Amino acid sequence: MASFVALGIFTGLIYSMVALGYTLVYGVLKLINFAHSEVLMSGGFAGYFFLHVAMKTTTASTSERVLILIGAIVASGLAGAIVATAIERFAYRPLRRRNAPKLTYLISAIGASYFLLNFAGKEFGRNPTATAQPITSNVSISVLGAQISAFDLVLLGVTAVLFYAVNTLVSHSKVGRSIRAVAQDAETASLMGVNVNSTIASTFAIGGFMGGVAGLFIGMSTTVDYNMGFTPALLAFTAAVLGGIGNIRGAMAGGVVLGICMYVPIYWLHQPYLEPVIGFAILVLVLMIRPTGLFGESLGRSA
């Protein structure tokens, strides 16, 4: 039981990183970014290639492994940021310039998602492959009967650092101020001298960085695959709605709560494939009972 809760928490951390991307974009554009799953996928592939190259040439001393891990995090985050910005540039901005109806954004995002997904499938092959592991330590600590591995601890640390960074960025920096301004009222913000286009692009980039890092961790814990982003992104969207979409702290909490809610029932059901089914049921329940999520939805107020 405790191990399932721990599993839920650590999977939830990954979801909350992804959910952040949904939440930021939703806050700014009032749109669900359907192509976010491909940000995950690109982060996973970037991490795979980085580790593939770096682990080949190194004979694994601890400090080198730490450096490689940091490099992989940066590489996958950057890949995610680049892909997210490209999605904004090619699938959203031409429509935004034209003041197109919302339906067209969703369709073009779905198109972008499918294009990137199958493009990766074509360029890198369609079979799942395991990533090289920079974290080989077998150290694990036992908390209330749950075994927490070194991988989980690294994940926890990385998530904490990234969330702290993003939170600070959004609430205390100039970019963050313009993001919040655009989220509240894009037109007024542009009158006040905020460059709306570059603000939206940087929002995508921040969300994309988090998504890319999440992709790296998904790749390290399971396999890398052209279709790896789909289910986690769907569940992460659930997490974002659970925490209140548009709410940064809500996204973090939503991911963890979702993770626990998903894995605890599996403890009784013994059917791991039910994970997305439970997540989906939670999504529908949240939408029925409390569509504003646990913590309310506003980027402007709560960040």
Residue 290 makes contact with other proteins by CB under 8 A: no
The helix or strand, by DSSP H or E, that contains position 1, with its residue range, turns out to be none
User: Which residue, 121 or 296, has its beta carbon nearer to other proteins?
Assistant: 121
Rounded-to-5 percentages of helix, strand, coil across the chain: 75, 5, 20
Residue 78, CA atoms < 13 Å, CB-side half-sphere = 8
Question: Which of the ranges 72-80, 109-117, 150-158, 204-212 carries the binding residues for other proteins, by CB under 8 A?
Answer: 109-117
- Least distance to other proteins, CB of residue 35, Å: 10
| x/- track of binding to other proteins for residues 127-146 (CB under 8 A) | x-x-----------------
Residue 76 makes contact with other proteins by CB under 8 A: no
Q: What is the DSSP letter of 146?
A: E
- Contact residue for other proteins among 139, 144, 191, 288 (CB under 8 A): 288
Residue 265 makes contact with other proteins by CB under 8 A: no
Residue 164 makes contact with other proteins by CB under 8 A: no
Question: Which of the ranges 121-129, 161-169, 184-192, 204-212 carries the binding residues for other proteins, by CB under 8 A?
Answer: 121-129
- Contact residue for other proteins among 17, 41, 258, 283 (CB under 8 A): 283
User: Which residue, 115 or 267, has its beta carbon nearer to other proteins?
Assistant: 115
- Least distance to other proteins, CB of residue 128, Å: 8
- Contact residue for other proteins among 2, 102, 160, 172 (CB under 8 A): 102
Residue 74, CA atoms < 13 Å, CB-side half-sphere = 6
Query: In this structure, are residues 246 and 297 in contact, taking their beta carbons and an 8 Å threshold?
Result: yes
Question: Going by C-beta distance under 8 Å and a sequence separation of 6 or more, which residues neighbour residue 5?
Answer: 146, 260, 263, 264
The helix or strand, by DSSP H or E, that contains position 147, with its residue range, turns out to be strand 146-149
- Contact residue for other proteins among 115, 249, 264, 266 (CB under 8 A): 115
- Contact residue for other proteins among 9, 51, 54, 112 (CB under 8 A): 112
- Contact residue for other proteins among 2, 126, 136, 147 (CB under 8 A): 126
Rounding to the nearest 10 degrees, give the CA dihedral for residues 69, 75, 81, 83.
-130
The DSSP bridge partners found for residue 69 are none
- Least distance to other proteins, CB of residue 271, Å: 8
Instruction: Give the C-alpha separation, 69 to 295, whole Å.
Output: 34
Instruction: Give the C-alpha separation, 258 to 82, whole Å.
Output: 28
| x/- track of binding to other proteins for residues 201-240 (CB under 8 A) | -----------------------x-----xx--x--xx--
The helix or strand, by DSSP H or E, that contains position 142, with its residue range, turns out to be strand 140-143
Query: What DSSP assignment string belongs to 228-256?
Result: TTHHHHHHHHHHHHHH-TT-HHHHHHHHH
Residue 192 makes contact with other proteins by CB under 8 A: no
DSSP-derived pairing of the beta strands 140-143 and 146-149 = antiparallel
| The token pair that represents 213 in the structure block | 């890092």
Residue 196 makes contact with other proteins by CB under 8 A: no
* Interaction site with other proteins (CB under 8 A): 31-32, 34, 48-49, 52, 90-91, 94-95, 98-108, 110-119, 121-127, 129, 224, 230-231, 234, 237-238, 271, 273, 276-277, 279-280, 283-284, 287-288, 291
